[in-house]
Structure 1
Amino acid sequence: MEAGQNLIGGGWRASDSGATFVTVDPTNGETIGVVPDGGATDIDAAVTAARDALGDPQWARMSPSERARLLWRVADLLERDAEEIAVLETRDQGQPLRIARNVSVAGAVEHFRYYAGWCTKIDGRAPAHSRADALNYTRRVPVGVCGLITPWNFPLLIAAWKLAPALACGNTVVLKPAEQTPLTALRLARIFIEAGFPPGVVNVVTGGPEAGRALVEHDGVDKVSFTGSTEVGRSIVRGSAGNLKRLSLELGGKAASVIVGDADLERAVAGNLQSGIQNSGQVCAASSRFYVARPRYEEFAERLAKAAAAVQLGPGQDPDTQMGPVVGEEHLSRVDGYVRSGVEQGAALLTGGARAAGPLARGSFYLPTVFADADDGMRIAREEIFGPVLTVMPFDDLDEVAARVNDSEYGLAASVWTRDLATAHHLADRIHAGCVRVNMVAGIDPAAPWGGMKASGWGREMGTEAIEDYTEVKSVWIGLE
């Protein structure tokens, strides 16, 4: 069983209260770790350590090339211990081991290497202003102490895509992982120590909502980056008002997928099923509401249901597993509640709609579920379920479907499936989402910005945009007379 302590100021410590909580394997409900249940005093100590490190010459005056070397070293150490960390992620979160290896750990490695390359390229400019008596130049400087709050669906990967740009820009950080999946964050903390980061630059505090609120409200924190639900995101906006923190919020989604009449149906079914059930549907950009051209609607729904019914459920470490459990019993009950609402509101349940039976009943396994004959007003078509629940609806023309896709509070991601280039560009332009994918199911890379519109959040992760979000612009005037 894993046991952990918080990393604060370069040292390992229990929570001030001595309280702990357990984390469980969603495959079987067994306890796999005991970690500190940090609270406000632990957060205060971590923020103090981060603020002290921010002004410490060891970090503040470190050359960009040396910061790059440290980040690259983190990537090397992650790669060295990749199998161990992937297994830990699978046990704590439930995702199939191939996803933990090829997406979570490999993606984290790539983020640290990508932003290591940015360290030596964060510069300003000399504006062409109209004053002959002065020179003006700008610099990008660190925001300061960054509070990073990560969710339970991709604990390691999302921590990496916040930590890497924040540190590349010279900030110090306090990371608060989701209480459901804290283990790889604590393992990553050990890697930062081994890589040689100065004390206090990276701090990790495990805990529940109290710790999260304390981090958001702390006046010693200059920026909060949060990935999670829209409801919690709104509370963060309110809680951060005290010192007007800068915010990056990657929030909920209800990703639409539009299957045009000329689409390759075989590819569209396979791709959309993959998107909808990846990580058991616990992906903010998972395709979950499908708009299918009416002449292809019945065929698509039947094919999708048949493919979903054939998905192999099982423990993440089983190489034959295609879909693991949801993160825990509380979340399984939430997913099942949405399915019951779909049935009650009159949608046709084509497959799934229940937790798995037999040996898998010990864990939090939910069958891939497909609904047809739904409408846009149903909860299963409007609200984020965050589970393997897919809803199929017909459409008649492109103007209609664009309006229906946009009739949502969310705007994180969407997909379009068509062989026609003009249709692809037309719909990509009209859909209000931060990311539109055409004939593909993935759209994340360290070099490309990621984030949402409307209630799906503020700001962007990854790419040049993350560098902008983790820096302030300072304007300097030099008198020439």
Structure 2
Amino acid sequence: MTNQHDEHTVLETISPADDSILVTQPLANQKDIIESLERANIAQSHWRQTPLAQRKTYCSRAIDALLTHKEMIASEISWMMGRPIRYSSGELSGVEERARYMISICDEALAPIKLADKPGFTRYIKHEPLGTVFVIAPWNYPYLTAINSIIPALLAGNTVILKHSSQTPLCAERLQQAFDEAGLPRGIFQHLFLNHSNTEQLIASEQIQHVTFTGSVSGGKMVEKAAAGHFHNIGLELGGKDPAYVRADANLEHAVKTVVDGALFNSGQSCCGIERIYVDASIHDEFVVKAKQEIYTYQLGSPLEHDTTLGPLVRTTAANFIRDQIQQAIEMGATAHINESDFPASQPDTPYLAPQLLTGVTHQMRVMTEETFGPVVAVQKVHSDHEAIALMNDSEFGLTASIFTRNTDQAIELGEQLDVGTFFVNRCDYLDPALAWTGVKHSGRGYALSKLGFETLTRPKSFHIKHLQE
């Protein structure tokens, strides 16, 4: 919702917890944007010459500062996007893990590449910063998704402008506060609240050298269109329809608990959440019984209550989209195993939606092809590894995939056949900062984290020196 207020457009953030207006935030105007870009470019000329050890210190201090506000931040996350308060502080634990890891490996990752000796010459390749990096972050994991790019970008010598989701504006303010408390010089890290047209304008600016975007496929297309002809580097983490395959030899108890958690945590609003489950026919019925029992251990309610383990969706339109997917599947022959009345907080035309377990699903149903981004466990029976792999690959997305089995060697062989960025065995819905985070097909392009993550935020500069004989 927007209102006119002086020279700015004012955006109101509505809490899914109780439909209240949580934040009223003026959006940046043209003057704000121009000044921010100028500050970033001026600051970058000094920041790139700042020793890496000093950059590391600033980043470490910022993470320290952010963690001192953990309880307040957890409450804000719950209010802004609906995650149960008992889990909200865990996001900052993930932020610390990722940031500390990237800080710990940056000396090696950013060190010049030394070449074999060649008589009479010195040759090496340096990792040069790109300039100003524009980070566009989503609401579902508002700190984790942002920190994936912010910390390595700053370590590499870039300046950063953050545009956070209108659903989670306080996250941008808390990150700014943390860097300010760390003493980071002005202009190196900034945030702007932007509408769509101004976001596109910033993407197209010649003063931006790299754009990293996490969000929908349609949003990724907008980024590519806005950046066309400007030769920016672009990193896109987009949609997912991540599958799990439970083989006949799987540890069934472990598989059920893991995939149900992977489907329902954060109300299913995870880029790499489990959205499709393929179960071997020989254990399918037992799996369904155990999955239903597991789902009934969840409690849907206000995210501000400590007993709640399943909060509301981010907004009513998202919940209604999922209701439509479920209804279409049932009309096409799927069986729903969860009685919505058993979750009294679930009410029509609200963000509060009961979890659902569907069987008898097929790839003719939207729930198995469209990104759901909600608390649905959709199970399809399969009769062989070959069938499972074919169905897992039958998607426009390719972020992660999981196989549950006691035969690790066989799992790895099957994993080689999957068109995804990350392959899991006996786990899911997790991001290890030591591994490159990447997707294929409509799940995006580029990669973040790990040593490779620094490559997307730098450019190679070759030094070729010939030594003259006197």
Alpha-carbon separation, structure 1, partners of 2:68 and 2:347: 33
- Cα distance change on mapping 1:474 and 1:295 into 2, 3 Å: same
What secondary structure is seen at the aligned counterpart in 1 of 2:162?
A: strand
Give the drift of 1:361: 7.2
What residue ranges of structure 1 are gaps of 5+ in the alignment? 1-13
Alpha-carbon separation, structure 2, partners of 1:354 and 1:385: 22
Q: Which amino acid aligns with 2:68?
A: R
Q: Partner of 2:56 in structure 1?
A: 68
1:151-179 per-position Cα deviation (integer Å, ceiling 9, x unaligned): 11011111111111111101001100111
Residue 50 in structure 1 maps to residue 44 in structure 2: no
Residue 308 in structure 1 maps to residue 298 in structure 2: no
- Cα distance change on mapping 1:98 and 1:461 into 2, 3 Å: farther
What residue ranges of structure 2 are gaps of 5+ in the alignment? none
Q: Partner of 1:87 in structure 2?
A: 75
Please say if residues 155 and 182 of structure 1, whose CA atoms lie closer than 8 Å, have aligned partners that are also in contact.
no
**Aligned residues, how many?**
464
- Cα distance change on mapping 1:62 and 1:231 into 2, 3 Å: same
Q: Out of 125, 129, 146, which is 2:133 matched to?
A: 146
Q: Which amino acid aligns with 1:427?
A: L
Kindly report which structure 2 residues correspond to 1:231-242, keeping only aligned pairs within 5 A, or say none.
231-242=218-229
- Cα distance change on mapping 1:287 and 1:354 into 2, 3 Å: farther
Please say if residues 44 and 218 of structure 1, whose CA atoms lie closer than 8 Å, have aligned partners that are also in contact.
no
Residue 214 in structure 1 maps to residue 201 in structure 2: yes
Q: Which amino acid aligns with 1:335?
A: I
- Cα distance change on mapping 1:152 and 1:144 into 2, 3 Å: same
- Cα distance change on mapping 1:230 and 1:353 into 2, 3 Å: farther
Please say if residues 19 and 36 of structure 1, whose CA atoms lie closer than 8 Å, have aligned partners that are also in contact.
yes
Residue 477 in structure 1 maps to residue 467 in structure 2: no
- Cα distance change on mapping 1:188 and 1:366 into 2, 3 Å: same
Q: Partner of 1:8 in structure 2?
A: none
Alpha-carbon separation, structure 2, partners of 1:180 and 1:107: 21
Alpha-carbon separation, structure 2, partners of 1:213 and 1:335: 29
Give the drift of 1:64: 0.9
Please say if residues 392 and 418 of structure 2, whose CA atoms lie closer than 8 Å, have aligned partners that are also in contact.
yes
Please say if residues 113 and 124 of structure 2, whose CA atoms lie closer than 8 Å, have aligned partners that are also in contact.
yes
Q: Out of 396, 401, 406, which is 1:414 matched to?
A: 401
1:85-106 per-position Cα deviation (integer Å, ceiling 9, x unaligned): 111111111112232212x111
Name the stretch that deviates more: 163-172 or 239-248: 239-248
Give the drift of 1:41: 4.7
Give the drift of 1:358: 4.8
Give the drift of 1:383: 1.0
What secondary structure is seen at the aligned counterpart in 2 of 1:173?
A: strand
Q: Partner of 1:27 in structure 2?
A: 17
Identity across the alignment (%): 30
Q: Which amino acid aligns with 2:386?
A: D
Name the stretch that deviates more: 206-215 or 432-441: 206-215
Residue 228 in structure 1 maps to residue 201 in structure 2: no
- Cα distance change on mapping 1:343 and 1:354 into 2, 3 Å: farther
Give the drift of 1:214: 2.0
Q: Partner of 1:256 in structure 2?
A: 243
Q: Partner of 1:3 in structure 2?
A: none
Name the stretch that deviates more: 170-179 or 437-446: 437-446
What secondary structure is seen at the aligned counterpart in 1 of 2:28?
A: coil
Give the drift of 1:393: 0.5
- Cα distance change on mapping 1:467 and 1:380 into 2, 3 Å: same
Q: Which amino acid aligns with 1:29?
A: D
What secondary structure is seen at the aligned counterpart in 1 of 2:464?
A: strand
Residue 344 in structure 1 maps to residue 331 in structure 2: yes
1:271-310 per-position Cα deviation (integer Å, ceiling 9, x unaligned): 1110001100000111111110011112212322332234
Alpha-carbon separation, structure 2, partners of 1:339 and 1:77: 43
Q: Partner of 1:457 in structure 2?
A: 444
Alpha-carbon separation, structure 2, partners of 1:359 and 1:395: 32
Kindly report which structure 2 residues correspond to 1:56-205, keeping only aligned pairs within 5 A, or say none.
57=46, 59-102=47-90, 104-121=91-108, 122-128=110-116, 132-205=119-192
Alpha-carbon separation, structure 2, partners of 1:136 and 1:414: 42
Please say if residues 138 and 474 of structure 1, whose CA atoms lie closer than 8 Å, have aligned partners that are also in contact.
yes
Q: Which amino acid aligns with 1:23?
A: T
TM-score normalised per structure 2: 0.93
Q: Which amino acid aligns with 1:302?
A: V
Give the drift of 1:343: 2.2
Please say if residues 355 and 361 of structure 1, whose CA atoms lie closer than 8 Å, have aligned partners that are also in contact.
no
- Cα distance change on mapping 1:188 and 1:147 into 2, 3 Å: same
Taking only aligned residues, the RMSD between alpha carbons, in angstroms, comes to 2.2
- Cα distance change on mapping 1:363 and 1:381 into 2, 3 Å: closer
Q: Which amino acid aligns with 1:123?
A: A
Give the drift of 1:47: 2.0
- Cα distance change on mapping 1:318 and 1:451 into 2, 3 Å: same
Q: Out of 304, 310, 331, which is 1:317 matched to?
A: 304
What secondary structure is seen at the aligned counterpart in 2 of 1:316?
A: coil
Q: Which amino acid aligns with 2:446?
A: G
Please say if residues 65 and 119 of structure 1, whose CA atoms lie closer than 8 Å, have aligned partners that are also in contact.
no
Give the drift of 1:15: 9.3
Alpha-carbon separation, structure 2, partners of 1:186 and 1:338: 36
Q: Partner of 2:266 in structure 1?
A: 279
Q: Which amino acid aligns with 2:7?
A: S
- Cα distance change on mapping 1:358 and 1:396 into 2, 3 Å: closer
Alpha-carbon separation, structure 2, partners of 1:402 and 1:265: 19
Give the drift of 1:248: 0.9
Please say if residues 263 and 375 of structure 2, whose CA atoms lie closer than 8 Å, have aligned partners that are also in contact.
yes
